[in-house]
Amino acid sequence: MPLLQAPFLFKITMIQEMNKIIQTKDGSHSLISGKFEESYHSKHGAIQETQTVFIDAGLKYKSEFSKELEILGIGFGTGLNAFMTYLESKKEGLKVEYTGVEAYPIDLGTAAELNYPAELNAGTERDIFLSMHGSENKTLQISSEFKFCKRVCLFEDLKYKENFDIIYFDAFAPEAQPELWGEEMLNRMYRFLKPGGVLTTYCAKGVVKRCLKSAGFVTEALPGPIGKREMTRAIKAPK
Ligand SMILES: C[S@@+](CC[C@H](N)C(=O)[O-])C[C@H]1O[C@@H](n2cnc3c(N)ncnc32)[C@H](O)[C@@H]1O
């Protein structure tokens, strides 16, 4: 007889893979992934990290060139990047089509416990935050200026589309997910961008920057969010 029977093994796997909510230093929540045993955000502050890496270095930078933007978020996760992009684009009058790709979506109950709407003084937009979590593989017209789609699949399997102005590359760290940070996937991200498109990531590792360069990107080291000296912005040269 097997030592542990199938239902028990299933239960243990489920418990191991459960995410845990934590509070980061700026007061905003994050998750510890049961599957990857990694934090979804910097422990120095989830909101401040998203603000620096994705909103300031990606969205605000690119919106100086165009007010209509297509954005791909690799790792939808807690939805923080998508929600802050929605709030910023509303404030700045941008027209945005946002695609978030997520292989392992969190459940709606966990999403409902996250304090982002309150921490961002956007409690009245909480339903929008939850609607992003509640939808899968269909386009939501969140407002007249903001379209959103959460694609539930591996980035590796996302259907190729050469349309994006911005990629927020927000997978777990290279040590946890080496398959996403090597040349093959960075080449794929390069192809997903329009000429002049920009990829931002919290990662500033030399090996990743070298792979970005060999994919064709021009890379810049920018000051990182609190707790991190540098981050990376990579640009696909305009034609
Ligand atoms: C560092 S977390 C950040 C998520 C998100 N940006 C946020 O603010 O919560 C990385 C996310 O990427 C997702 N992920 C990991 N591997 C993936 C893959 N191959 N394709 C798509 N999503 C993936 C994880 O499930 C997780 O939600």
Q: Is 104 touching ligand 1 by the criterion CB < 6 Å? A: yes
Q: Is 63 touching ligand 1 by the criterion CB < 6 Å? A: no
Q: Is residue 1 part of a domain?
A: no
Backbone angles phi, psi at 20, to 5 degrees: -120, 135
pLDDT digits (tens, 9 = 90+) for 165-212: 999 999 999 999 999 999 999 999 999 999 999 999 999 999 999 999
Question: What is the pTM for the complete model shown?
Answer: 0.94
Q: Considering only CA atoms, which residue is closest to atom 4 of ligand 1?
A: 77
Expressed in angstroms and rounded, the spacing between residue 76 Cα and the centre of ligand 1 is 6
Q: Helices (H) and strands (E) in the chain — how many of each?
A: 10, 10
Expressed in angstroms and rounded, the spacing between residue 102 Cα and the centre of ligand 1 is 6
Q: Are strands 164-169 and 193-201 parallel, antiparallel or unpaired?
A: parallel
Q: Is residue 231 part of a domain?
A: yes
Residues comprising the chain, all counted? 239
Q: Is residue 230 part of a domain?
A: yes
If one compares 162 and 62, the residue with the highest pLDDT of the two is 62
Side chain identity at residue 111, one-letter code: A
Q: Is residue 172 part of a domain?
A: yes
The CATH number of residue 37's host domain is: 3.40.50.150
Candidates 151, 148, 186; CA nearest to 169 is: 186
The rounded distance, in Å, linking the Cα atoms of 156 and 114 is 28
The boundaries of the domain holding residue 110 are 6-236
